[in-house]
Structure 1
Amino acid sequence: MHFLHRVNLRQSSKSVLEFLLRRMSTISKDLPVLTLFTKDSCTLCDEAKEALEPYRHRFALQEVDITVPENSVWYERYKYDIPVFHLNGQFLMMHKVNFNILEKRLTKLEEELNRNT
């Protein structure tokens, strides 16, 4: 899924992320959104997605192809660093999956959700 292609390029990166999160909120109200900034033929990205499989029940995965012209903001920011991950619109990690960071942030979000329900 590539929702960013509908966003005006003149929008700030913050508003692009807000748009992305609003779109993802219609998919799952309870799961955090893990955004993967990727491109076609990215072996590291494929490896990262495979490594994330055991966690897939804990987040909604959103992939953003940085090579799509409408995503030039992300291309300029991450062209040398993919895969890059954001969790609920905030930078989480890059280059490979860091399970310690992922587990810590997911657990924190789950605890916050449980407190608020």
Structure 2
Amino acid sequence: MRSLLRVNVLLSILPLRVTQSAAFGSRKLPVLTLYTKEDCSLCDKALEVLKPYNHQFELETVDITLPENKEWYKKYRYDIPVFHLNGQFLMKHRADLKVFHQRLTDIENKTD
């Protein structure tokens, strides 16, 4: 039940987007992956920082405490929140908007 509540809290903070943004035209939005765990207040804060930009990416969350994610747990257990953008490491410990914007710009320029 707690994990369901956690998912609902995440979705209310930063809803998943499947639509296209004007910046990316008809291209698929980049996927922002958050490596997290239940009751991660730093993760919640990072999501709040990114909330104004949620139309620019699709959010995917990975609970590192689940058995199927043990490799991510070994790698990131002391570093969450950790973000990847389109499968590549982006940032950890907090949301860095400068890094986030730069990587989005790089992705947009590569697909033009």
TM-score past 0.5 threshold:
yes
2:78 is aligned, of 70, 80, 100, to 80
SS of the aligned residue for 2:80 comes to coil
State how far apart, in whole Å, the 2-side matches of 1:68 and 1:77 are. 14
Within a 5 Å distance, the mapping from 1:1-117 to structure 2 comes to 30-113=28-111, 115=112
State how far apart, in whole Å, the 2-side matches of 1:60 and 1:111 are. 18
Letter of the 1:111 partner, please give it. N
State how far apart, in whole Å, the 1-side matches of 2:63 and 2:86 are. 17
Cα shift at 1:112: 2.2
Paired residues, number:
88
Bigger fraction of residues in helix? 1
Cα shift at 1:40: 0.3
Cα shift at 1:107: 1.1
Aligned residue for 1:4? Answer: none
The 4+ residue runs of structure 1 with deviation greater than 3 A are none
Letter of the 1:80 partner, please give it. Y
* TM-score normalised according to structure 2 size: 0.75
**What's the CA shift string for 1:3-56, capped at 9, x where partnerless?**
xxxxxxxxxxxxxxxxxxxxxxxx565100000000000000000111111111
Cα shift at 1:111: 2.1
Letter of the 2:35 partner, please give it. F
Letter of the 1:56 partner, please give it. N
**What's the CA shift string for 1:83-114, capped at 9, x where partnerless?**
0000000000000011110000001112222x
